[in-house]
Structure 1
């Protein structure tokens, strides 16, 4: 492997070093310490996969109402993959089945079917059926 280092970069590092050869702000990135870059989630949610998952499922609702409830709070339903991964973490409180935002390609008499993820696996459910759900949002920080 061949690495090219620009002389201007070396000069900038050397100029930043004090008499002992140590750089005074080596623990900073763009002048900010590491705490500035930490991600955080609101109370009642936990950080997983770069998303804030609600810690507990909400009461059962049909898919449309669940999606609207999340949107009203500035959140969304998780994808099937996000929910499966979250479910597989030890100690997570997953209802038997919970709504995701994944529309199934299975067509049963023109009924919209959405993927649901639960304690024992995944399935599809008619959008009009009531299922518990949880919302996800992006972290702050």
Structure 2
């Protein structure tokens, strides 16, 4: 195969893309067995605990995220929070989305009141027309 690359029949970037696509196709069967659908619908979960692949439905956004041991996703429409901790945080200590009203719009922020040494981040997915420029 090295000769093919040197002769220029297949560009290295194209070959990497083909190999990655093939590997992804092969792994998809394994992921399906170890995955959880996270979202708001009745057949979807509000939380996911690693190790697992979380398939997230946040209309209009859809994405997947691989969680390792001691990682959690918490879904609370319209937001999703990732937390790295040994056990699921209780609702009082979990990070959450907070809306601060202002005179001409609202400002959205994520906050966490306890356990601040735990890595976390929040995600919100809305169409652009829901947000006004400052």
TM-score of the pair, normalised by structure 2: 0.27
Q: Which has the higher contact order (CA 8 A, sep 6+)?
A: 1
Give 1 or 2 for the bigger CA radius of gyration: 1
TM-score of the pair, normalised by structure 1: 0.26
